[in-house]
Structure 1
């Protein structure tokens, strides 16, 4: 077998518009089925995306012996439940971030993978596979900006739709869970460490009860990452990584377009140069990396322990926002 056959649990918009088209361009996987609790919705999505099979329930898709793995873009509160059900059927899992609502939920997945290590489970932090991030990580690790001591990031969009799952607190909505988790992830990636403590501040929407704006500080012991994310501000995203000898600025860090070049700025010795990357689809790259781990029976690029560490940090930020004190990570 040189490709894995993937089934998609739900017809969520991110899957239909971004992830599935990216997967369909991948070399090492193919999307063979999609499902929804509404069979007609599944059929429409299958026809629109040229997917061979459509199912009217998640359970029916998981029962298909011709599916090797599943991609899960369900609402956050369903991630762990359906990851465990997929694993029980012997399916490998690529699940949207965040994988759980808290680190206790992720710990259930750790226990499940320990019992069945042959089943691969990976959180879908697609940004890590884009060449601009691969190069940023390489530059930081090789000392291109000296010792990195400060990371500043901003990520926002505007969505005040009361029916949108991102605005439903009981489904794991809100800024930190939806997009702030990227900022936590990149901080841990570039500093190659887990923060010692976290401080969080949030502004809750009075109607939705979700954090519409969340700002955080992550203390890595002499190194600091600061960030703001919001679901109700003008759309914007940027990451700056500063070191003793230079700076790297990522212009479109998270939603890199699949059909246009991207750029990072590298400042060294008082001069700034632009590094340009050819257009590529980070969802395609993610799919191939996940498929490679399955086909070659090697660890997935984003381990379940990395997922736990990220969620543990998110939990500490939420706890700090409630206590108004620094919280240990």
Structure 2
């Protein structure tokens, strides 16, 4: 019996080509075996590092390929549930880009399908597979900064309003909150084990999508605030501030491409501890975690129930805007 997964990619997006396909190719217990695209020329960059890659002319053809065990889905947000369901019904393990659903109800459908079929389905929320977040959970749980007082986050990048990009397209599920809101929300939840309660939200809406969104919430006895934007300069950071110190998380989401992942742990009266992660590859870790779950039955760090909790909070934010 094979001890690895043969992967197919639905679509030849830039992110799949530059990030996830190379991660699949580099991961242990994984083989990048196929890509589905109507334009064969778009498959050439994938074949440059995976020469044996098969090219399917349609997504359905790839799902019908008996040589594929798992699929990665980087399609526009509005297509995530449809193709996750089709892939699972075809018996393929599913790793779908965030947000895996447009609403918590969508995620409920996928949970029901996963439980009915026994097929692995998960959202590709890569911070769950980076060891910096396991360390942050430990520090907070051990009282390393005292009683939690404030959690703050930011994730922004500059995308022109007129750019032909799915993130600017309401029909395809665009907008800042759906694209990157999952990061500060998910980070706060996995770090603290607490569920945020919304107190205030505001947004700039452009042609049906939120280009920038600001949120305030309660997180247990602490306060949680964050903002996300597609119209501001590149920035990402998470801060956990307690009664006896703080954790500042550098490159909390796009570790590597944004900068080196690091935790600056400050405690009153002590020198700062700098915890660095210069070589961790969270996308590769994610692919290997799928294999460990599918092949070994291991626990997965970001099951659909975790994704549902984040989506439920996003639903509440949209309802408040």
Q: TM-score, normalised by structure 2?
A: 0.94
Counterpart of 1:167 in structure 2 is 168
The answer on whether the counterparts of 1:34 and 1:42 sit within 8 Å (CA) in structure 2 is no
Aligned to 2:87: 86
Kindly tell me: are residues 265 and 285 of structure 1, through their superposed partners in 2, closer, same or farther at Cα, counting changes over 3 Å? same
Aligned match of 1:204: 205
Alignment RMSD (CA, Å): 1.7
Aligned match of 2:196 = 195
Partner of 1:221: 220
Q: Deviations over 1:97-139 (max 9, x none)?
A: 10011112112112211211x2111111101212222222221
Conservation of the 8 A alpha-carbon contact between 2:150 and 2:242: yes
- 1:295 offset after TM fit, Å? 0.7
Paired residues of 1:15 and 1:73 also in contact (CA < 8 A): yes
- Structure 1 residue 258 displacement after superposition: 6.3
Q: CA deviation at 1:169?
A: 1.0
Question: Per-residue deviation at 1:96?
Answer: 0.6
Distance in 1, matches of 2:303 and 2:12, equals: 26
For residues 294 and 172 of structure 1, the distance between their equivalents in structure 2, rounded to whole angstroms, comes to: 29
* Structure 1 unaligned blocks of 5 or more: 322-329
| Segment drifting more, 162-171 vs 71-80 | 162-171
CA distance in 1, matches of 2:205, 2:258: 36
How far apart, in 1, do the equivalents of 2:318 and 2:168 lie?
17
Equivalent positions of 1:105-254 (< 5 A) are 105-116=106-117, 118-160=118-160, 161-205=162-206, 208-254=207-253
Q: Partners of 2:204 and 2:138 in 1: how far apart?
A: 36
Shift of 1:226: 0.3
Contact 1:198 1:316 in 2 (8 A): no
SS of residue in 2 equivalent to 1:256: coil
Give the superposition deviation at 1:70.
0.5
**How many pairs are equivalent?**
317
Residue number in structure 1 paired with 2:54: 53
> Which whole-Å CA distance do the structure 2 matches of 1:17 and 1:189 have between them?
27
**Deviation string, structure 1 residues 155-174 (Cα, Å, up to 9, x no partner):** 10001143100111111111
| Residues 39 and 55, structure 1, Cα contact 8 Å, conserved in 2 | no
- For the 8 Å contact 1:4–1:291, the answer to whether it is kept is yes
Alignment check: 8 A CA contact 2:103 2:312 kept: yes
Q: Normalising to structure 1: TM-score of the pair?
A: 0.92
- Displacement, 1:183? 1.0
Task: Give the CA deviation at 1:315.
Answer: 0.4
Aligned partner of 1:68 in structure 2 is: 69
Q: Distance in 1 between matches of 2:168 and 2:156?
A: 14
* SS of corresponding position for 2:194: coil
Would you identify which runs of 4 or more consecutive aligned residues in structure 1 move more than 6 Å? Answer: none
Cα distance change of structure 1 residues 71 and 198 upon mapping to structure 2, 3 Å threshold: farther
Contact 1:29 1:291 in 2 (8 A): yes
Q: What do residues 59-87 of structure 1 show as CA deviations (whole Å, max 9, x unaligned)?
A: 00000111111011110000000000001
Gap regions ≥5 residues in structure 2:
none
Shift of residue 297 of structure 1?
2.2
The verdict on how the C-alpha distance between 1:188 and 1:34 changes in structure 2, with shifts beyond 3 A counting, is same
